[in-house]
Structure 1
Amino acid sequence: MQGNVDRKAPPPPTGDGGPRLSAQDKAQRDLLTGAILFAASILFVVNGSTAMGQVIDALSGLGAGVEEVLTIAVLLNVALILFGYRRYRDLQQEVAHRAAAEERARSLAAIDPLTDFYNRRSLLEQGAAMIADAHGRGRAVAVLLLDLDHFKTVNDIHGHEAGDHVLKVVAERIARVMPPHALAARLGGDEFACTCIFDPAHPETVERVAEDVVAALSHGVAYGSSELIVSTSLGLSRSDCDGDQIDVLIRRADIAMYSAKNAGRNRHAWFAFAMEEELHRRSVIEAAMRRGIAQGEFVPYYEPQMDLLSGELLGFEMLARWESPELGLTGPDQFIHVAEETGMIGELSFAVMRRAFSDARNWDPALTLSVNISPSQLRDPWLSQKLLKLLLETGYPANRLEVEITETCLFENLELAKTIVQSLKNQGIRIALDDFGTGYSSLAHLRALPFDRIKIDRSFVTAMGDNGENAAIVTAIARLGESLGLPVTAEGVETLAIETQLRGIGLAKGQGWHFGKPMTIEQTRRMLADRGMLPARERTVAPTDNGVPPRQTLSFG
Structure 2
Amino acid sequence: MKADSISGKQNNLHSSGIYDELTQSYNRAFYQEMLDEFVTSTLSLGKPLNAILININQFAKINNFYSLQAGDSILISLCMRIREFFNHQQVLIRMNGDEFMILVSDNVDLELLERLYETLSTPYHVNGNILECSVRLAYLLNLNLSFNVNNLYSSLASSINFAKRAKINLIKFDPVHSELSYNKLDFPAAIQKLFDEDRFFIVLQPVGTDINQIIGYEVLVRLDLDGNILNPDMFIDYIMENGFSSKLNQLMLDKVILLLQNECWSHLLSTTQLKISINLALSVENFLLHVDELLKVYVINKELFQNVQLEFEITENQLMPDDAKNSHFFRQLIEKVHQFGIRLALDDFGVAYSSLQRLMECRFDTVKLDMSFARALNPRHDNYENSLAIFEAISFYARKMNIDLVAEGIETLEQLRILQGIGYKYFQGYILGQTLAFIDACQLHMEKYSQS
Cα shift readout 1:245-288 (whole Å, capped 9, x = no counterpart) = xxxxxxxxxxxxxxxxxxxxxxxxxxxxxxx9984299588655
Q: Does 1:397 align with 2:305?
A: yes
Q: Does 1:328 align with 2:217?
A: no
Q: Does 1:301 align with 2:301?
A: no
Q: Identify the match of residue 496 of structure 1 among 373, 393, 413.
A: 413
Q: Write the mapping of 1:61-80 to structure 2, written as runs, cut at 5 A.
A: none
- Runs (4+) off by over 6 Å: none
Q: Identify the match of residue 317 of structure 1 among 184, 193, 218.
A: 218
Greater alpha carbon shift after TM alignment, 416-425 vs 431-440: 431-440
Letter of the aligned partner of 2:390 in structure 1?
A: I
In 2 relative to 1, CA 378–473 (structure 1 residues): closer, same or farther, beyond 3 Å?
Answer: farther
Task: State the partner residue of 2:290.
Answer: 383
Q: Identify the match of residue 429 of structure 1 among 326, 342, 360.
A: 342
Letter of the aligned partner of 2:409 in structure 1?
A: G
Q: Identify the match of residue 438 of structure 1 among 328, 347, 351.
A: 351
SS at 2:391 equivalent: helix
Q: Identify the match of residue 403 of structure 2 among 472, 476, 486.
A: 486
Name the % identity: 27
CA–CA distance in structure 2, aligned partners of residues 379 and 437 of structure 1: 26
Q: Is the Cα contact below 8 Å between 2:179 and 2:187 reproduced in 1?
A: no
Letter of the aligned partner of 1:496 in structure 2?
A: L
Give unmatched runs, 5+ long, in structure 1.
Answer: 1-275, 534-557
Task: State the partner residue of 1:505.
Answer: 422
Task: State the partner residue of 1:462.
Answer: 375
Task: State the partner residue of 1:370.
Answer: 277
In 2 relative to 1, CA 302–295 (structure 1 residues): closer, same or farther, beyond 3 Å?
Answer: same
Q: Is the Cα contact below 8 Å between 2:252 and 2:278 reproduced in 1?
A: no
Q: Is the Cα contact below 8 Å between 1:403 and 1:432 reproduced in 2?
A: yes
SS at 1:497 equivalent: helix
SS at 2:182 equivalent: helix
CA drift at 1:441: 4.6
Q: Write the mapping of 1:510-521 to structure 2, written as runs, cut at 5 A.
A: 510-521=427-438
SS at 1:435 equivalent: strand
Task: State the partner residue of 1:407.
Answer: 316
Letter of the aligned partner of 2:232 in structure 1?
A: P
CA drift at 1:353: 2.1
Q: Does 1:354 align with 2:254?
A: yes
CA drift at 1:303: 0.1
SS at 2:222 equivalent: strand
In 2 relative to 1, CA 500–378 (structure 1 residues): closer, same or farther, beyond 3 Å?
Answer: farther
Q: Is the Cα contact below 8 Å between 1:375 and 1:408 reproduced in 2?
A: no
Letter of the aligned partner of 2:317 in structure 1?
A: T
Q: Is the Cα contact below 8 Å between 1:436 and 1:442 reproduced in 2?
A: no
Cα shift readout 1:130-161 (whole Å, capped 9, x = no counterpart) = xxxxxxxxxxxxxxxxxxxxxxxxxxxxxxxx
What is the aligned residue count? 257
CA–CA distance in structure 1, aligned partners of residues 194 and 365 of structure 2: 34
CA–CA distance in structure 2, aligned partners of residues 378 and 486 of structure 1: 27
CA–CA distance in structure 2, aligned partners of residues 531 and 382 of structure 1: 40
CA RMSD of aligned residues (A): 2.8
Q: Write the mapping of 1:114-133 to structure 2, written as runs, cut at 5 A.
A: none
CA drift at 1:509: 0.6
CA–CA distance in structure 2, aligned partners of residues 511 and 441 of structure 1: 20
Q: Is the Cα contact below 8 Å between 2:201 and 2:222 reproduced in 1?
A: yes
In 2 relative to 1, CA 306–426 (structure 1 residues): closer, same or farther, beyond 3 Å?
Answer: same
CA drift at 1:505: 1.4
CA–CA distance in structure 2, aligned partners of residues 393 and 323 of structure 1: 29
Letter of the aligned partner of 1:387 in structure 2?
A: L
CA drift at 1:526: 2.0
In 2 relative to 1, CA 458–393 (structure 1 residues): closer, same or farther, beyond 3 Å?
Answer: same
Letter of the aligned partner of 2:230 in structure 1?
A: T
In 2 relative to 1, CA 324–282 (structure 1 residues): closer, same or farther, beyond 3 Å?
Answer: farther
CA drift at 1:405: 2.0
CA drift at 1:388: 1.2
In 2 relative to 1, CA 393–409 (structure 1 residues): closer, same or farther, beyond 3 Å?
Answer: same
CA–CA distance in structure 1, aligned partners of residues 334 and 285 of structure 2: 9
CA–CA distance in structure 1, aligned partners of residues 413 and 186 of structure 2: 42
Give unmatched runs, 5+ long, in structure 2.
Answer: 1-177
SS at 1:438 equivalent: coil
Letter of the aligned partner of 1:320 in structure 2?
A: V
Letter of the aligned partner of 2:316 in structure 1?
A: E
Letter of the aligned partner of 1:315 in structure 2?
A: G
Q: Identify the match of residue 338 of structure 1 among 219, 231, 238.
A: 238
Q: Is the Cα contact below 8 Å between 2:239 and 2:245 reproduced in 1?
A: yes
SS at 2:273 equivalent: coil
CA–CA distance in structure 2, aligned partners of residues 319 and 285 of structure 1: 23
Q: Is the Cα contact below 8 Å between 1:407 and 1:442 reproduced in 2?
A: no
Q: Write the mapping of 1:84-233 to structure 2, written as runs, cut at 5 A.
A: none
Cα shift readout 1:90-126 (whole Å, capped 9, x = no counterpart) = xxxxxxxxxxxxxxxxxxxxxxxxxxxxxxxxxxxxx
SS at 1:387 equivalent: helix
SS at 1:400 equivalent: strand
Letter of the aligned partner of 1:440 in structure 2?
A: Y
In 2 relative to 1, CA 330–287 (structure 1 residues): closer, same or farther, beyond 3 Å?
Answer: farther
CA–CA distance in structure 2, aligned partners of residues 284 and 495 of structure 1: 45
Cα shift readout 1:8-61 (whole Å, capped 9, x = no counterpart) = xxxxxxxxxxxxxxxxxxxxxxxxxxxxxxxxxxxxxxxxxxxxxxxxxxxxxx
CA–CA distance in structure 1, aligned partners of residues 209 and 406 of structure 2: 10
Q: Is the Cα contact below 8 Å between 1:354 and 1:394 reproduced in 2?
A: no
Letter of the aligned partner of 1:405 in structure 2?
A: I
Higher relative contact order (CA 8 A, sep 6+): 2
CA–CA distance in structure 2, aligned partners of residues 441 and 496 of structure 1: 28
SS at 1:500 equivalent: helix
Letter of the aligned partner of 2:280 in structure 1?
A: I
CA drift at 1:355: 0.4
CA–CA distance in structure 1, aligned partners of residues 275 and 294 of structure 2: 16
Q: Is the Cα contact below 8 Å between 2:216 and 2:276 reproduced in 1?
A: yes
CA drift at 1:521: 1.7
SS at 1:382 equivalent: helix
In 2 relative to 1, CA 280–407 (structure 1 residues): closer, same or farther, beyond 3 Å?
Answer: closer
Q: Is the Cα contact below 8 Å between 1:378 and 1:409 reproduced in 2?
A: no
CA–CA distance in structure 2, aligned partners of residues 285 and 517 of structure 1: 32
